[in-house]
């Protein structure tokens, strides 16, 4: 049989080559995702195994209950008298304080980031509030607001606001000049420029501030209820510690972790919904590479 020339062989089409590239990228993405998941799962498993070994074998003690007992207590917490009411009060204070910080912090950060004089004034106070220990302000807040729900809301607000304002200011002040000039060339006024150019361009920094301030809001809630104001879930921790019910006290700590994880996860979900253009752009860049 006559041998076919190299020139007569069918060349791979662009679609076929693109299919091979997509398959390699999917396999690479799957392998990276699997390895990331496994590495993330190893850390808590190792911590729990070490905890179990220490509390059962190395140093059995009343103050270090095994994780199995803690998780059993965690499952029984909803049936504990007063738990639902305490959890509701804690979540209410967290929602009011963090929501108020978001409603006031984002507009304040945008304005301070674009007005140079306000940015210079607000930047000094934001830096000061980020450097001092916020727990030192809790007694002052109690003097001003008492020991009720208002004081807990104020503590959560004070913990969450400075970091959020600082990140929003950074995002608003770093908008590229080209975007501003383009908006002005299309006839955008000051209000339209802020709404259609500055705010969308600052969204990555805004969501970064929301994630970090959400975690700080939970810290403020724990500080308010556990250290100063004995109410809510923090008050239940104090009661359990006084009764030497360490498994239930540890279980409340895991409740705090769950609340923080859910709040930060909700912010990340909103970020993925509002900033889906960024993931598409990154995917296009990786595909080009």
Q: pLDDT class for 53, splitting at 50, 70, 90?
A: confident
User: What does the pLDDT read at residue 27?
Assistant: 55
> What are 94-143's pLDDT values in tens digits?
999 999 999 999 999 988 888 888 888 888 888 888 888 887 888 888 88
Summarize the confidence of residues 148-153 as an average pLDDT.
86
CA distance 239 to 251: 13
User: What does the pLDDT read at residue 101?
Assistant: 94
Number of Cα atoms under 13 Å in the Cβ half of residue 228: 24
CA distance 28 to 6: 32
The model's pTM is: 0.75
Q: Is the pLDDT of residue 42 over 60?
A: yes
Bigger pLDDT: 289 vs 14? 14
User: What does the pLDDT read at residue 287?
Assistant: 37
User: What does the pLDDT read at residue 11?
Assistant: 46
Q: pLDDT class for 278, splitting at 50, 70, 90?
A: low
* High-pLDDT (> 90) share of the chain, %: 15
Bigger pLDDT: 222 vs 14? 222
Bigger pLDDT: 146 vs 59? 146
In 140-154, which positions are buried (b, 16+ CB within 10 angstroms) versus exposed (e)? ebbeeeeeebebbbb
* The token pair that represents 150 in the structure block: 């208002």
* The token pair that represents 262 in the structure block: 């859910």
> What are 155-178's pLDDT values in tens digits?
999 999 999 999 999 888 888 888
Query: Which residue has 């501003």 as its token pair?
Result: 180
Query: Which residue has 């000039």 as its token pair?
Result: 181
Q: pLDDT class for 5, splitting at 50, 70, 90?
A: very low
- Decide: residue 268, CB within 10 A, 0-12 exposed, 13-18 middle, 19+ buried: middle
Query: Which residue has 């769950």 as its token pair?
Result: 258
Q: pLDDT class for 19, splitting at 50, 70, 90?
A: very low
Q: pLDDT class for 61, splitting at 50, 70, 90?
A: low
- CA dihedral (235, 236, 240, 241) in degrees, to 10, reads -30
Measuring CA to CA, which residue among 59, 93, 76, 86 is closest to residue 251?
76
Q: Is the pLDDT of residue 21 over 80?
A: no
CA distance 135 to 158: 10
> What are 212-250's pLDDT values in tens digits?
999 999 988 888 887 767 778 888 888 888 888 888 888
Q: What angle do CA 266, 271, 273 make, to 5 degrees?
A: 95
* The token pair that represents 110 in the structure block: 């945008």
* Average per-residue pLDDT for the chain: 78
């Amino acid at each position: 049989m006559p041998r076919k020339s190299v020139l007569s062989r069918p060349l791979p089409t662009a679609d076929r080559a693109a299919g091979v590239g997509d398959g390699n990228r999917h396999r690479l993405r799957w392998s990276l995702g699997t390895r990331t998941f496994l590495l993330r799962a190893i850390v808590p498993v190792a911590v729990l195994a070490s905890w179990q070994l220490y509390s059962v074998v190395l140093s059995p003690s009343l103050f270090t209950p095994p994780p199995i007992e803690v998780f059993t207590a965690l499952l029984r917490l909803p049936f504990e008298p007063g738990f639902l009411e305490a959890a509701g009060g804690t979540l209410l204070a967290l929602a009011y304080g963090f929501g108020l910080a978001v409603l006031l912090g984002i507009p304040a950060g945008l304005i301070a980031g674009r007005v140079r004089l306000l940015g210079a004034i607000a930047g000094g106070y934001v830096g000061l509030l980020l450097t001092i220990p916020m727990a030192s302000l809790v007694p002052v807040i109690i003097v001003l607001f008492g020991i009720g729900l208002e004081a807990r809301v104020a503590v959560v607000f004070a913990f969450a606001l400075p970091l959020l304002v600082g990140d929003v200011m950074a995002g608003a002040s770093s908008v590229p000049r080209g975007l501003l000039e383009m908006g002005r060339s299309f006839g955008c006024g000051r209000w339209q420029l802020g709404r259609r150019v500055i705010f969308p361009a600052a969204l990555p920094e805004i969501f970064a501030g929301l994630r970090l301030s959400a975690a700080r809001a939970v810290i403020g809630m724990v500080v308010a209820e556990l250290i100063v104001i004995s109410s809510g879930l923090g008050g239940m921790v104090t009661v359990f510690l006084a009764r030497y019910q360490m498994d239930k006290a540890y279980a409340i700590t895991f409740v705090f972790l769950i609340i923080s994880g859910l709040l930060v996860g909700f912010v990340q979900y909103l970020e993925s919904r509002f900033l889906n253009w960024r993931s598409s752009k990154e995917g296009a860049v990786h595909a080009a590479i």
